[in-house]
Amino acid sequence: MNAVGVVVEYNPFHNGHAYHIEKARKETGADVVIAAMSGNFLQRGEPALLSKWARTRMALHGGCDIVIELPYNFATQQANSFASGAVALLEACGCRYLSFGSESGEIDDFLSTIHFLKESNDKYQHLIKQFVQDGNSYPKATSLAFKALSPHHDQTVDLSKPNNILGFQYITAIQNQGAQMAPTTVTRKNADYHDESFNTSTIASATSLRKALFANDGHIENIQRYVPAATYNGLMDYYNEFGLFHNWEHYWPFLQFRLIQSSPEELRNIYEVEEGIEYRLISAAQEAGSFSEFMENVKTKRYTWTRIQRICVHILTNASKEMMLKNNMPQYLRLLGMTDNGRKYLHHKKNALQLPMISRVSSKNEAELSLDIKASKVYGLAATSLQSKKLLKQDFLQPPVLLKTANGLQ
């Protein structure tokens, strides 16, 4: 049995994701699709709309056969660490391919871009340094440096686009880790990553879907055409059960409290808190009445919005530098869910998996999973007390989601 890996957040799962899985399966001829999926907090430093369990259910209905949690210390990191953790997970699962979405849909374009940047590396690094010194954030400087190098032939991809950056980082991680997986890419349909408004087709970006969900609290009818039925029902069920779709504002009281009660010294233990931003965070927390107001007060040219949000997630989950940097590679495969087909694959490969598989939290693995578990608990606090209790203990009580279908497709 052959597997193709995908790296996902599914926030929420939509028709574009289903299209990607279907194409990846078809183009690679793989028998199973394995998703490395972020847990409850995401790469852009935000809580996921729905818990990882609800999103796993959607993923299995949408065509994935196996969902493995990308551990917190990779899921909430900048693109290179994020990609590096995801690639290591999928490689450990024995994936033969890694498939990602891109505008161009040509894997050769990525390979030649990487080749071009390797050749121009001295100049590239010099330019990045220069742009950082000019006061730009690191991602901005990277993008400006890339533009300045202006590789004007057809076989390059534009690394100022977020999705291209991720693709670029996946391939780089595969090369750096000497992974056996072959990278492959599927042309994205219609919606741009940052597209906030709907178009008339059945494809919309996750960003626009989230925007629509929050604009019409609890009324989800207007996103129905853009998501599979299982996502639509899953969203309704989640809202009925827990009374919310999670967003940063739900966690603002906790963030504000923690910033107000902390000393700058304590905050400096937290991952990515450095260069004096702790003073800025503490002072802004006293002034702001909401998370968005807080972010407006904190933002600066030197820090991207995303980086500040990630710092805030780490403050919320109390993720110290020590804990975040303890392992630079994943140490376990946390199984969130599988189809019958996925189970067959895991049974078949059980002696070939390169990392221990964890299906249930127990006293034996609790310490190792502590960051993931803490993130889940804090995530659960957004719901009102009774629901919160269920959410915050879910990591201990929930067995992997099991979907009984022939091939994981609806």
Minimum CB separation of residue 81 from a copy of itself in Å reads: 22
Check binding of 326 to a copy of itself (CB under 8 A). Answer: no
CA–CA dist 141, 139 (Å, integer): 5
Question: Which range, of 42-50, 146-154, 155-163, 377-385, touches a copy of itself by CB under 8 A?
Answer: 377-385
CA–CA dist 259, 242 (Å, integer): 27
Query: How many CB atoms are located within 10 Å of the residue 147 CB?
Result: 14
Among 152, 240, 289, 364, binds a copy of itself (CB under 8 A): 289
Pairing outcome for strands 97-102 and 3-8? parallel
Check binding of 386 to a copy of itself (CB under 8 A). Answer: yes
Pairing outcome for strands 66-70 and 333-339? antiparallel
Minimum CB separation of residue 320 from a copy of itself in Å reads: 9
The answer to whether the CB of 24 falls within 8 A of the CB of 99 is yes
Among 98, 392, 401, 403, binds a copy of itself (CB under 8 A): 392
CA–CA dist 47, 63 (Å, integer): 24
CA–CA dist 33, 5 (Å, integer): 6
Minimum CB separation of residue 322 from a copy of itself in Å reads: 11
Place of tokens 């003073």: 279
Check binding of 290 to a copy of itself (CB under 8 A). Answer: yes
Question: Which range, of 11-19, 65-73, 183-191, 250-258, touches a copy of itself by CB under 8 A?
Answer: 250-258
The answer to whether the CB of 173 falls within 8 A of the CB of 152 is no
Among 54, 86, 316, 346, binds a copy of itself (CB under 8 A): 316
- Which DSSP letter does residue 270 get? B
Comparison of 163 and 262: residue with beta carbon closer to a copy of itself: 262
| Phi and psi torsions of 113, nearest 5° | -65, -45
Among 218, 389, 405, 410, binds a copy of itself (CB under 8 A): 389
Contacting a copy of itself within 254-283 (CB under 8 A)? 254, 256-258, 260-263, 266
Identity of the amino acid at 270: I
Distance of CA 253 to the CA centre of its chain: 24
Q: Annotation-wise, does 19 bind a ligand? A: yes
Query: How many CB atoms are located within 10 Å of the residue 353 CB?
Result: 13
Q: Which residues contact 230 (CB under 8 A, 6 or more apart)?
A: 13, 57, 58, 61, 62, 410
Check binding of 325 to a copy of itself (CB under 8 A). Answer: no
The answer to whether the CB of 248 falls within 8 A of the CB of 291 is yes
Among 121, 286, 328, 410, binds a copy of itself (CB under 8 A): 286
Q: Annotation-wise, does 347 bind a ligand? A: no
Check binding of 374 to a copy of itself (CB under 8 A). Answer: yes
Please report, for residues 209, 263, 384, the alpha-carbon distance to residue 58 in angstroms, rounded to integers and kept in the order given: 15, 41, 24
Check binding of 287 to a copy of itself (CB under 8 A). Answer: yes
Minimum CB separation of residue 26 from a copy of itself in Å reads: 44
Q: Annotation-wise, does 163 bind a ligand? A: yes
Check binding of 243 to a copy of itself (CB under 8 A). Answer: no
Minimum CB separation of residue 289 from a copy of itself in Å reads: 4
CA–CA dist 200, 346 (Å, integer): 40
Q: Annotation-wise, does 330 bind a ligand? A: no
Rounded (5°) CA angle 195-201-203: 50
Minimum CB separation of residue 326 from a copy of itself in Å reads: 14
Check binding of 393 to a copy of itself (CB under 8 A). Answer: yes
Residues forming contacts to a copy of itself in the complex (CB under 8 A) are 253-254, 256-258, 260-263, 266, 286-287, 289-290, 316-318, 374, 377-378, 381, 385-386, 388-389, 392-393
Known binding-site positions for ATP: 7-20, 101, 163, 188
